[in-house]
Each structure stands twice: as C-alpha cells, then as structure tokens.
Amino acid sequence: MTKMIVFDLDGVLIDSRENMKVSWQQVNKKLNFGVKFSDYFRNIGRPFEDVLKEIGIKRNINEAKKIFRIKSIKNFNLINTYPGVKYTIEKLKKKGFILAVLTSKERSRTLKLLKRFDLNFKYVQCPIPGKKGKPNPFLLNKLLGKTGKKRKNTFYIGDTYTDYKFAMNSGINFIFCKYGYGKITLKKVKKIGKIKDLLNVFSKL
C-alpha cells in the first residue's frame, strides 16, 4: 500500500524564524502588544489566531494578522529552505510516495512560498476559517478525505510538540525533526537530524 508523507512547513521545509521575528516586531510596534517574540515563537505550530489567544491577546486579532501577513510577504527574502529539502522531496516522489503539506500558515502565503522554492506537492492543506487547526485532527481528516489514504499509511513530519499531539490526535504516524523549532524528549518518538534522513527511514518501511 502506497504511503503518504505529510510535511509541516515552518521548521521542517523552510526556516522562517527571522521572517517571523521582523513580522512580529511590526505587529508589536503598530498595536503595542508588548509581547516578546520569544513568547510568540514558543507557541507557533498553531493557527495565528490561536497563538495570540495562547499568549493572552484578545484584541485587534484581525488587524494583527493583516500586519503580520504584509510584513512577512515583504520579507520573504529572509526565508530559506533547509539543506536537502528539494532533493529529498524529489527522491521520495520518484520512489512513489504521495507527498502533501499540512501547515498552520494561511493558504496564500503557503502557496507563494512553495512556488518561490519550486516545491511541488500534490496536496496542500491549510487552515480553514472557522474550523479548528492543529492539534485538532480536523485538517488531517480533511486531507484524508481528499486522498483516500488510510491513517496507518500516513506519516506526519513535524518539529514541535503541537505537531506530535496533532499526529497522535489524528491517529497517524509521526516523525520529529530535531533541526526545527521545538523539542521532544519522548524516547518512543522517531527523530531525524536532517531532512535527508527520511530517505533512509522510508527505505526500511
């Protein structure tokens, strides 16, 4: 049975930390939230609105989202892919795996970034307004409905504890990227040090 590999975006395929930092600084400057980037960054992996709620921000959410998005697009030059990303994706495609992206980043920026780095995926699942994001399994269920793949043959590649909880809530396999933004100490979790390690992992499955 063909396996599906689902990638998170930030911290797995792209390093966007500096982009997020300057974007958050602009939000703070315009709206006077007074929240350090480190506090914002500690909660990434969820939809932007959920991150704001997590750090105690309940006002000007739509305006903050707009400011963040505009600044992020303006500074796309601060974003790079991790070493070996395109090579690994192309190799996995040739081996017959179904590849998808499932991210908390809104769709327009996600598609712009994938196009910028020439990363082509058959399926791209982004947050849906009014619906729950990670770690709720809704988005994964939506993706499975499109692909017809079974949970036991689906793998989520993530870099935060939120991603791990998302995979567990969704009933799918999980692989943790140690080079990303988060930390997981659970010994039972499969971990990789660089994205090319996936080629070895999936050659044994």
pLDDT band at 1 (very low <50, low <70, confident <90, very high): confident
> How large is the average pLDDT for residues 42-64?
92
pLDDT band at 204 (very low <50, low <70, confident <90, very high): confident
| Three-state SS at 77 | helix
d(CA 109, CA 16) in angstroms, rounded, equals 12
| Six token digits for residue 41 | 């960054």
d(CA 174, CA 164) in angstroms, rounded, equals 7
Identify the residue whose tokens are 């995979």.
Answer: 167
| 138-148 pLDDT tens trace | 999 999 999 99
Instruction: Note whether 91 and 199 are within 8 A (CB).
Output: yes
User: Pick from 103, 95, 102, 82: which is nearest to 145 by CA?
Assistant: 102
Mean pLDDT of the chain: 95
In the chain, pLDDT over 90 holds for what percent of residues? 94
Residue 174 — left, alpha, or beta (φ > 0 → left; ψ -120 to 50 → alpha)?
beta
Q: What pLDDT shows up at residue 142?
A: 96
Instruction: Note whether 7 and 99 are within 8 A (CB).
Output: yes
What is the identity of the amino acid at 71?
K
Residues forming beta bridges with residue 15, ordered by sequence position: 80
| 76-107 pLDDT tens trace | 999 999 999 999 999 999 999 999 999 999 99
| Helical (H) or strand (E) element with 174 | strand 173-177
d(CA 48, CA 20) in angstroms, rounded, equals 11
User: Pick from 165, 163, 140: which is nearest to 12 by CA?
Assistant: 163
